[in-house]
Each structure stands twice: as structure tokens, then as C-alpha cells.
């Protein structure tokens, strides 16, 4: 895999941009690089989102070949997110591997109940540690940041149970600061909207067909628009000032949704199309 020259190296000075808080960004990058420098080898749980990308970049700059980024692929992950993970890891230059697991084989995950997120994270944590131990790595890290509320993230329980470290959270680095750091590092996904797994957009039992349809629906809509699969109905949260085009509605119906409901953020209202 080709390696791209990086705009930033820690702990020396970084290329600054016009962001209003570059000094704090520099300090955060140095703190993060020092965190990794205190560890011999690390495995970064790598989704390709901005949080794990900043972690991977700092780990690679601090540890070089002693850092590896690992993406756990499953039916719940979109192809677009997987492609983004490959592309971003290539930008960073870090070794990157994808480990596949079959989450739909787990009955409680397939049922899409309240424990789904915890069980998914648990299965992923087990797979990450298997890989880490096979490489003699004793530190696994995750991109949870200081903005993430533990009570809102059932998967945090699995991270704690499996002793997966969260450097951004430990250092008090919040989401807005992470995005500034990503820009300082020259990451192409610095402004990429946060994305949840496909399962979070489905009510009821998960099937491969429903997951694939949700992924198709996301491809039809503008990036960052939220959707909810309700069987033969799909709900689309359209940002204020935007509109769902006739072409989008036709596309959603073409892939099997009989009803399309538009939910607006402000003012809150729904339109059945």
C-alpha cells in the first residue's frame, strides 16, 4: 500500500490553518502523540471515522510500524464506510487490515433488541483482542472522545469490560477538537459526518436484505441525511432549508419502500410522499 506524505508530525510544530483554535489543536496532538509514545505497540480499532483516523495518525507518527489499524467488517457496515476506511488508512500510511465477522449469526443481534449495540461491540472487541494477541500487542485503543456520553452508548460497557483504551476521552479531547486536529493532520475525512452502523436505522429484525436496502437508500440521498427503515416505510430527516427531490423519492420507491416520510428538523413536521 502506497504511503502519502503527512502534513503533521508530533511532537514538533505542525502546519497551521485558519481554524480559530490552532494552538489548542497543536497541544492536543502533542498530548496524543505522547500518550502513544508511552506504549510499545498498539492496535487501533479503525472505522475510518474522524475519531479513529486521528488516533491512527497519531499512533503511526509516534510508533511507526509498531502501530496497526484494524477494521472489523460485518453485515452491519456499509461498503462506503469500508472503502473510506481503506482510503483514509492509505493516506495515513499505517498498516491496515480488515477482519470479517458474521454478526447476523448472533440471534440477539439479529433480533435488533436493546442489547444489540453491546453485543456487537463485545464481538468486535473479542476479535480485536484475538488479532492483538497474535501480534504480541497488549494495548487496543478506540476512538471514543470526551463528547461521547457513556450513558448514551451501550457499547461503552463492552469497551470497559475488554480493557480497550480510549485516549481521546482520557485526555479530555472533545469532538470539535478532534475535527480541528484532523484538519491539521491533513486528513480528507476531517469534515465527514459521523455515521452509525446500518442496524441503527432499522426497526425490527435485521436481515441481509433490509441492511442492503438501507445502504442503497443512503446512496440515493445526500450525505449525512438520516433515515429510518420501518419495513415498507422509510423516514428521511431532511435538514432545514433542504428538500427531498422527486428523483430521490422515485429511487427510494424503486428499492422497495412503498411510503416515504419526510421529517424536518425545524420546524418539526412530517410529510407523507
Structure confidence by residue, pLDDT tens digits, 29-52: 999 999 999 999 999 999 999 999
261 shares a domain with 154: no
34 shares a domain with 135: yes
Within-domain flag for 39 = yes
Report pLDDT for 225.
87
* pLDDT, tens digit, 9 for 90 and up, residues 191-244: 998 888 999 999 999 999 999 999 999 999 987 789 999 999 999 999 888 889
* pLDDT, tens digit, 9 for 90 and up, residues 92-105: 999 999 999 999 99
Within-domain flag for 41 = yes
129 shares a domain with 32: yes
Instruction: Assign residue 44 the CATH number of its domain.
Output: 3.40.50.620
Report pLDDT for 222.
84
The pTM assigned to this predicted structure is 0.85
116 shares a domain with 75: yes
Within-domain flag for 248 = yes
225 shares a domain with 138: no
Q: Can you list the pairs that 26-30 forms with residues at least 24 positions away whose Cβ atoms lie under 8 Å?
A: 26/184, 28/171, 28/173, 28/177, 28/180, 28/181, 29/58, 29/181, 29/184, 29/185
261 shares a domain with 170: no
Within-domain flag for 238 = yes
Within-domain flag for 136 = yes
Report pLDDT for 140.
98
How far, in Å, CA of 202 to CA of 234, rounded? 9
Sheet holding 269-272, edge to edge: 226-229, 233-238, 259-264, 269-272
Range of the structural domain that residue 155 is part of: 22-184
* pLDDT, tens digit, 9 for 90 and up, residues 80-136: 999 999 999 999 999 999 999 999 999 999 999 999 999 999 999 999 999 999 999
Within-domain flag for 76 = yes
Closest to 68 measured CA to CA, from 93, 43, 85: 43
Within-domain flag for 194 = no
263 shares a domain with 212: yes
Report pLDDT for 21.
59
Paired sense of beta strands 269-272 and 259-264, if any: antiparallel
Within-domain flag for 190 = no
Number of domains in the chain: 2
Asked if 95 contacts 41 with a C-beta cutoff of 8 angstroms, the reply is no
64 shares a domain with 170: yes
230 shares a domain with 141: no
241 shares a domain with 160: no
More confident residue, 147 or 152: 147
- Using the 3D structure, point to which of 152, 184, 216 is the last residue of a domain: 184
240 shares a domain with 173: no
Amino acid at each position: 500500500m502506497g504511503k502519502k506524505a503527512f502534513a503533521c508530525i508530533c511532537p514538533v510544530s505542525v502546519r497551521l490553518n485558519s481554524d480559530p483554535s490552532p494552538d489548542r489543536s497543536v497541544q492536543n496532538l502533542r498530548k496524543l502523540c505522547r500518550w502513544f509514545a508511552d506504549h510499545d505497540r498498539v492496535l487501533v480499532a479503525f472505522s475510518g471515522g474522524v475519531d479513529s483516523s486521528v488516533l491512527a495518525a497519531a499512533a503511526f507518527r509516534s510508533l511507526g510500524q509498531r502501530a496497526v489499524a484494524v477494521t472489523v467488517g460485518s453485515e452491519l457496515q456499509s461498503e462506503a464506510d469500508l472503502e473510506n476506511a481503506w482510503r483514509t488508512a492509505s493516506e495515513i500510511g499505517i498498516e491496515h487490515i480488515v477482519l470479517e465477522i458474521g454478526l447476523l449469526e448472533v440471534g440477539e443481534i439479529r433480533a435488533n433488541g436493546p442489547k444489540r449495540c453491546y453485543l456487537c461491540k463485545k464481538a468486535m472487541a473479542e476479535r480485536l483482542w484475538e488479532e492483538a494477541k497474535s501480534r504480541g500487542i497488549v494495548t487496543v485503543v478506540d476512538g471514543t472522545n470526551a463528547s461521547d456520553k457513556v450513558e448514551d452508548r451501550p457499547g461503552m460497557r463492552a469497551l470497559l469490560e475488554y480493557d480497550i483504551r480510549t485516549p481521546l476521552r482520557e485526555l479530555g479531547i472533545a469532538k470539535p477538537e478532534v475535527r480541528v486536529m484532523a484538519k491539521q493532520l491533513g486528513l480528507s475525512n476531517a469534515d465527514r459526518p459521523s455515521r452509525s452502523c446500518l442496524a441503527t436505522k432499522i426497526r425490527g429484525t435485521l436481515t441481509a436484505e433490509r441492511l442492503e436496502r438501507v445502504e442503497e437508500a443512503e446512496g440515493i440521498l445526500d450525505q449525512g441525511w438520516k433515515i429510518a427503515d420501518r419495513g415498507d416505510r422509510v423516514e428521511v430527516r431532511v435538514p432545514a432549508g433542504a428538500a427531498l427531490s422527486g428523483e430521490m423519492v422515485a429511487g427510494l420507491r424503486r428499492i422497495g419502500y412503498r411510503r416515504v416520510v419526510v421529517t424536518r428538523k425545524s420546524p418539526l413536521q412530517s410529510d407523507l410522499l
